[in-house]
Amino acid sequence: MNPAVSIVIIGFAAILGAIIGSFLNVVISRVPEGESVVRPRSRCPVCHTEIGPRDNIPVVSYLVLRGRCRTCRTLIPRSYPLVEIATAVVWAIAALVILTQPSIGIAYAAMSLVIATALIALTVIDLRTHRLPRVIVFPLYAVVVAGLGIAAVTGDAGDAWGAVLGAAIWTVFLGGLWWGSRGRGMGFGDVTLAPVLGASLGWQSIWVSLAGLLAAFIIGAVVAGALLISGRASRRSRIPFGPFLAAGWAVALLVGQWAWDVYSAGLMI
Ligand SMILES: [Zn+2]
């Protein structure tokens, strides 16, 4: 494809991602409270002024307002633009991958993008509330079944048994940690997310799925170690594990197959 066209498509995906990120901010603030994400319209939590369209443009409004409410000048949390930027980056990467590697199939790409987008919201919610709300996690089961089902029916390259086995291994492993630690080492929310992450990676191959699980624990150990050494956490601190599962999944999704190819090529020599 013409590089200029590709750049336009990637830019469009980023803008769409930023708009969806803006919606994720609503999800992040309301879902843990059990509130509707549709109504009422967004208001400043301090002065209750309704946020008008011109103050609701992703990232741009935050910069124009210099991070403060237009009416009462209360600081807007930095997580708002960060979530919008993160979602824009994820959508831009997705567009880049689909354009450069069409063989992965549109169903698998779309499923992965929905999961990645949900994981952004789940990461922020888990950091704030130490919970992974079922109303976000359970619909992802349907997304995985539909995505992999369509991919299988339309004959896209993929490993159906890898998906089933990946889901089983992630669930048994995280479920075992949850059960063995009586919920202290691993929350039940993490276990509910396991089949989604294990199956979606397993479609690439069981090795990619296992790499994702391994990567989650390596990233978790490194971050927890850094927090302990820097004194920002103690041995008693409860560090939510959802963000590490999300990070391990993302790493394996993007480079797991490549890493496995490099590793197995090394074994051949
Ligand atoms: Zn205000």
Distance CA 101, CA 156 (A): 13
* pTM recorded for the entire structure: 0.94
Pair 117, 247 in one domain: yes
* Region of residue 21 (phi > 0: left; psi between -120 and 50: alpha; otherwise: beta): alpha
Query: How many other CB atoms sit within 10 Å of the CB of residue 267?
Result: 6
* Phi, psi of 50, rounded to the nearest 5 degrees: -65, 135
Say how many Å lie between the CA of residue 16 and the centre of ligand 1: 27
pLDDT tens profile 40-51:
888 888 899 999
pLDDT tens profile 149-180:
999 999 888 999 999 999 999 999 999 999 99
Pair 189, 240 in one domain: yes
Pair 139, 245 in one domain: yes
Pair 142, 62 in one domain: no
Residues 6+ apart with CB under 8 A from 131: 32, 125, 187, 189
235 versus 205: which is more confidently predicted? 205
CA atoms within 13 A on the CB side of 46: 10
Q: 109 near 203, Cβ under 8 Å?
A: no
Say how many Å lie between the CA of residue 88 and the centre of ligand 1: 26
- How much of the chain exceeds pLDDT 70, in percent? 99
Residue 197 has pLDDT above 80, yes or no: yes
Pair 93, 175 in one domain: no
Q: Write down the pLDDT at residue 155.
A: 85
- Structural domain ending residue among the three candidates 100, 127, 161: 100
Using DSSP, state whether 23 is helix, strand or coil.
helix
**What H or E segment, with its residue span, contains residue 99?**
helix 79-100
Q: Which of the 8 DSSP states describes residue 11?
A: H
Say how many Å lie between the CA of residue 195 and the centre of ligand 1: 41
- Structural domain ending residue among the three candidates 100, 130, 150: 100
Say how many Å lie between the CA of residue 74 and the centre of ligand 1: 6
Q: 249 near 213, Cβ under 8 Å?
A: no
- Helix, strand, coil share (%) of the chain residues, nearest 5: 70, 0, 25
pLDDT tens profile 7-29:
999 999 999 999 999 999 999 99
Say how many Å lie between the CA of residue 127 and the centre of ligand 1: 25
| Amino acid identity for residue 47 in this structure | C
Say how many Å lie between the CA of residue 28 and the centre of ligand 1: 19
Say how many Å lie between the CA of residue 76 and the centre of ligand 1: 9
Domain extent for 209: 103-269
Pair 240, 112 in one domain: yes
Pair 185, 74 in one domain: no
Q: 200 near 253, Cβ under 8 Å?
A: yes
Using DSSP, state whether 43 is helix, strand or coil.
strand
Residue 42 burial by CB count (10 A; 0-12/13-18/19+): exposed, middle or buried?
middle
Say how many Å lie between the CA of residue 123 and the centre of ligand 1: 26
Say how many Å lie between the CA of residue 69 and the centre of ligand 1: 5
Q: 194 near 136, Cβ under 8 Å?
A: no
Residues 6+ apart with CB under 8 A from 30: 36, 37
Residue 135: name the closest of 148, 121, 124, 149 by CA.
Answer: 121
Distance CA 69, CA 127 (A): 24
pLDDT tens profile 212-257:
999 999 999 999 999 999 988 887 788 899 999 999 999 999 998 8
Query: How many other CB atoms sit within 10 Å of the CB of residue 36?
Result: 10
Q: 204 near 149, Cβ under 8 Å?
A: no
Pair 131, 94 in one domain: no
Chain-wide mean pLDDT for the chain?
93
Residue 267 CA to its chain's centroid (Å): 32
Say how many Å lie between the CA of residue 133 and the centre of ligand 1: 28
Pair 66, 119 in one domain: no
pLDDT tens profile 85-95:
999 999 999 99
